[in-house]
Structure 1
Amino acid sequence: MEAASSEAKARRRHHQFVLVHGMCHGAWCWYKAATALRRAGHAVTAPDMAGCGAHPARVDEVRSFEDYSRPLLDAMAALPEGERVVLVAHSHGGYSVALAVERFPEKVAAAVFVTASMPAVGRPMAATSDELLAFVGPDFFLDSKELEQENPEIKGKPFIFGPNFMAQRLYHLSPPEDLTLGLMLIRPANTFTTNNTDEVVMRDEKLVTEERYGSARRVFVVVEEDRGIPAEFQRRMVAQSPGVEMEEIAGADHMVMLSQPQELVELLASSEPEARRRHHFVLVHGRCHGAWCWYKAATALLRAGHRATALDMAGCGAHPARLADVRSFEEYSRPLLDAVAALPEGERVVLVAHSHGGYSVALAAERFPEKVAAAVFVTASMPAVGRPMAVTSDKLLAFVGPDFFLDSKELEQENPEIKGKPFIFGPNSMTQRLYHLSPPEDLTLGLMLIRPANTFTTNNPDEVTMRDAKLLTEERYGSARRVFVVVEEDRGIPAEFQRRMVAQSPGVEVEEISGADHMVMLSRPQELVELLVRIANKCTSN
């Protein structure tokens, strides 16, 4: 049985990759990556688009983008029923891959855009090209040239990269011999985008649909040092396509398959598309808030095919309990503890804590470490092993000072059995400390939906769970994979204090999100979702 399982696993690890080159290039540019993939047991097809590489057509015979992409479309059409491939696009090849996905979504396990043009659903593919040209400016292409068009039936002129452009923009980190090879093998190409309003496929705003292209698993590989498609523009394309996963490769130029071939191959082959496709995220809100604050992130996760469970802690959000009914931190965290306890045997979830929700997640990780794939603390209170959880809260209060919470208020406690007073954020505190970079409508939503909360930390020495120095153990909570997401612009839990918490917990991984306020899931939802998926993917591949 074990041998059969290993054999099945080995079979699953072998994929079929279809590698699609960029403008003026050909299948030849994949020679390193194709060799490495085949050596690892994968099947590889690297077609020349029409008029490129060793393809027999001349540039004046390739009359449309449909003609140009025909080798890829024919290869997809010829796949046996039930066979699914991983399409890998580079640069301009993203348009051909998008067209193939739209035509044959049932044959695509994943579409990977390696610093490639990635069109958005419901927009003409040419719009992406037009936006890139506007972004880089008219002098970007240096000594590249437009040539005379020999076929009067084709609008627009053929284009070929110049030696300086290739050396400075595309191959600046690649081995010199690969630049030489490129200079020997590039061929002119029609773009079918600029100055060609009659191009049917590229200008059709109804071409790429949510039901077909949008339903495919798409992964974008960002290359920070790319000078051909700048990283900022790469991320713009990702932002225009909610649900797209994002990976990164460092130390590569535009010709990733030549400058960092092994890293690219490892990324492509690192995990099975089906296995990486779905994760279960449990989203835990902070003080006075509720599951509602995850509405953007939960939607994006669900759209990408993941499970997202956003819970109201007791007495929060739409939870039916009244504040006076929630007598302890254990009771407050009960919805999370019950949800994790109810998970089927063998299922592991990614717990995501925000702000005060870190304490509940820490408690759940201690109680059910075998059910936690990772605990992600998004600018959240992250207690340390061997110390009472309340110590983290006490230290934060000492760090920010007594005037930090502005117009927030302590309310009268209606239940004499609960020590300490309920707390609620004030409008100024929310505006200035928590939501200062979030859309105004999310601040309005927050002001409408927050509820008072018992803290169970300050002025409450009898709180058993929060004050227990032996609660969090190295063997259970400490053994879970923990990731802390630092938010530099956070005014609710200052970045310096975030890093102090990390320093007190050796082994915790650190990620960062920029341009967000304390309410990261509202001010930077897409960036957060992409990060969460990357973290989850690493969990399942380890």
Structure 2
Amino acid sequence: MGNSLACFSPKIAAKSSGSASPARRDASPPRASPYPSSTARRATSSLSGSASTKKSKKKVETAGAGVLYDDALIREQAIAAVMLLKQYQSGGDEKDDSLRLFSRSTSTSALFPSVSGKSGVKQSVARSSTSRRRSGSDFPLPPLQQILADEGLEADGVETNHFVLVHGGGYGAWCWYKTITLLRQGGFKVDAVDLMGSGIQSTDTNNINSMAEYAKPLINIIDKLGDGEKVILVGHDFGGACVSYLMELYPHKIAKAVFLAAAMLKNGQSVLDMFSVQQEVPSDLMQQAQIFFYGNGKNQPPTAIDLDKALLEDLLFNQSPAKDVALASVSMRPIPFAPILEKLNLSDANYGSIRRFYIETQEDHAIPASLQEAMTKSNPPEKIFHLKGSDHSPFFSKPQALHRFLTDISKIS
């Protein structure tokens, strides 16, 4: 949404020729094979002989030590793997993705003991880089069936288990892929919408002239809800204005509204007005990134705004994994300008009757934390959550923490 701030620049900003940020190190170093090839060959040749003779049995016991496992050990390993997955899904450092689930700090010594060679000298296999000793509390682990059963309990006992995710300016439904996965694993129903002219929508953003046009795909989703069915709307960035617009139209179909680093308007305000009232000036980075389109001629107001792809990482994804930055660089589209100028009519009877929650992003270069705090002070929500270490795109940089906040909000009664 840094895009909404674009309206403060009077001219087309030239594309920056600055150098890109340093590349991130996402790939983990290659692991050594857990079984030395010579050991594997010895074990194989031993097993190919007659298992009924003492000689063959001795070969298997000697050459295959640490290679052959009984059913109990295999089951223990499977449970340990599930526990690691649970740790990833429930917390930890969200800056990296699931490719780092089994990091080098994971103890492999418990899963793959060292193997003795012919000379009797132990041949080391891939080992943990940690010196932590196994404590008695590490085992026994809970039953595997219980671990898997707990996956579907997050949505139990909530007013509604249906989330509708509304992207920010320039983004699309694609940006929510991590959030969609985590919520669905917790038993929630999730819809992510492409607003008009965004994502896979083919409409030219220069031809979108109102909030009603821009939010039409979202309106279609809410229109199709059954009698008595409610949703939790989550709006990111400029999507917050769309959420406010829908709150006024469908108060009986919206249980809660969540503003995620988003524009949270008051009655009679436009996005432009909101930033003007807060007296926030776009940063140098924002001004450099803005590219205006004048579909109706240079003597008319802009019809759309885009962002310089070379500056996207520093502006919107300064804490996000490199692969998500790459996804955004080929997926983001211009933002229609007319909805940014539109003043919303928000009444206490409709908009004011819906419970609002705000999630602040602390390392945001597009909508600084100071501006987010100013919005929540002038138009207080029911509760404010703080995402530490998150850039403007927490669905990339802090997906686990964002998931926990959304789940917590769904359970607030």
TM range (shorter): 0.5 to 0.7
- 5 Å matches for 1:378-457? 378-395=260-277, 398-401=280-283, 404-413=286-295, 419-456=301-338
Partner of 2:382: 508
In structure 1, distance between residues paired with 2:186 and 2:165: 16
Q: TM-score, normalised by structure 2?
A: 0.64
1:440-495 CA-to-partner distances (Å, cap 9, x unmatched) read 1111111101111212256x5xxxxx225xx0112211221100001111111000
Q: Are 1:287 and 2:169 matched, yes or no?
A: yes
Q: Alignment partner of 1:275: what SS?
A: coil
Change in Cα spacing, 1:396 to 1:454, as seen in structure 2 (3 Å) is: farther
Aligned with 2:370 (options 478, 486, 496): 496
In structure 2, distance between residues paired with 1:400 and 1:364: 28
Change in Cα spacing, 1:395 to 1:439, as seen in structure 2 (3 Å) is: farther
Q: Are 1:519 and 2:393 matched, yes or no?
A: yes
In structure 1, distance between residues paired with 2:257 and 2:362: 20
Change in Cα spacing, 1:348 to 1:521, as seen in structure 2 (3 Å) is: same
Partner of 2:242: 360
Task: Give the CA deviation at 1:276.
Answer: 3.7
Q: Is the 8 A contact 1:390 1:457 kept in 2?
A: no
In structure 2, distance between residues paired with 1:435 and 1:401: 16
In the alignment, structure 1 segments of 5+ residues that lack a partner are: 1-65, 67-94, 103-121, 139-155, 160-189, 194-200, 219-242, 246-272, 461-465
Q: Which moved more, 1:374-383 or 1:316-325?
A: 316-325
Task: Give the CA deviation at 1:405.
Answer: 3.4
- 5 Å matches for 1:307-318? 307-318=189-200
Change in Cα spacing, 1:472 to 1:502, as seen in structure 2 (3 Å) is: same
Task: Give the CA deviation at 1:309.
Answer: 0.4
Change in Cα spacing, 1:367 to 1:389, as seen in structure 2 (3 Å) is: farther
Q: Are 1:335 and 2:209 matched, yes or no?
A: no
Task: Give the CA deviation at 1:376.
Answer: 0.4
In structure 1, distance between residues paired with 2:153 and 2:362: 25
Task: Give the CA deviation at 1:421.
Answer: 2.9
Q: Is the 8 A contact 2:153 2:187 kept in 1?
A: no
Q: Alignment partner of 1:503: what SS?
A: helix
Change in Cα spacing, 1:411 to 1:457, as seen in structure 2 (3 Å) is: same
Partner of 1:216: 149
In the alignment, structure 2 segments of 5+ residues that lack a partner are: 1-71, 84-100, 111-127
Task: Give the CA deviation at 1:511.
Answer: 0.7
Q: Is the 8 A contact 1:379 1:486 kept in 2?
A: yes
Q: Alignment partner of 2:367: what SS?
A: coil
Amino acid paired to 2:171: H
Amino acid paired to 2:260: V
Q: Alignment partner of 2:274: what SS?
A: helix
Task: Give the CA deviation at 1:371.
Answer: 1.1
In structure 2, distance between residues paired with 1:320 and 1:214: 44
Q: Is the 8 A contact 1:277 1:305 kept in 2?
A: no
In structure 1, distance between residues paired with 2:315 and 2:184: 29
Change in Cα spacing, 1:400 to 1:324, as seen in structure 2 (3 Å) is: closer
Q: Alignment partner of 2:328: what SS?
A: helix
In structure 1, distance between residues paired with 2:285 and 2:318: 18
Partner of 2:257: 375
Task: Give the CA deviation at 1:348.
Answer: 1.1
Amino acid paired to 1:216: A
1:154-181 CA-to-partner distances (Å, cap 9, x unmatched) read xx9xx9xxxxxxxxxxxxxxxxxxxxxx
In structure 2, distance between residues paired with 1:277 and 1:500: 30
> Number of matched residues?
304
Amino acid paired to 2:211: F
In structure 2, distance between residues paired with 1:489 and 1:217: 33
Change in Cα spacing, 1:355 to 1:534, as seen in structure 2 (3 Å) is: same
Q: Is the 8 A contact 1:384 1:501 kept in 2?
A: no
In structure 1, distance between residues paired with 2:359 and 2:261: 6
RMSD across aligned C-alpha pairs, in angstroms?
A: 4.0
Partner of 1:226: none
Amino acid paired to 1:473: S
Q: Is the 8 A contact 1:490 1:516 kept in 2?
A: yes
In structure 2, distance between residues paired with 1:370 and 1:517: 33
Q: Are 1:326 and 2:208 matched, yes or no?
A: yes
Q: Is the 8 A contact 1:405 1:429 kept in 2?
A: no
Amino acid paired to 2:203: A
Amino acid paired to 2:388: S
In structure 1, distance between residues paired with 2:108 and 2:380: 44
In structure 2, distance between residues paired with 1:510 and 1:392: 19
In structure 1, distance between residues paired with 2:138 and 2:184: 36
Q: Is the 8 A contact 2:165 2:192 kept in 1?
A: yes
- 5 Å matches for 1:198-213? 208=144, 212-213=145-146
- 5 Å matches for 1:90-109? none
Q: Is the 8 A contact 1:385 1:477 kept in 2?
A: no
Q: Is the 8 A contact 1:483 1:509 kept in 2?
A: yes
- 5 Å matches for 1:130-149? none
Q: Which has the higher contact order (CA 8 A, sep 6+)?
A: 2
1:82-114 CA-to-partner distances (Å, cap 9, x unmatched) read xxxxxxxxxxxxx9xx89x99xxxxxxxxxxxx
Task: Give the CA deviation at 1:381.
Answer: 0.7
Identity of aligned residues (%): 28
Q: Is the 8 A contact 1:393 1:457 kept in 2?
A: no
Amino acid paired to 1:478: G
Q: Are 1:467 and 2:343 matched, yes or no?
A: yes
Task: Give the CA deviation at 1:414.
Answer: 5.8
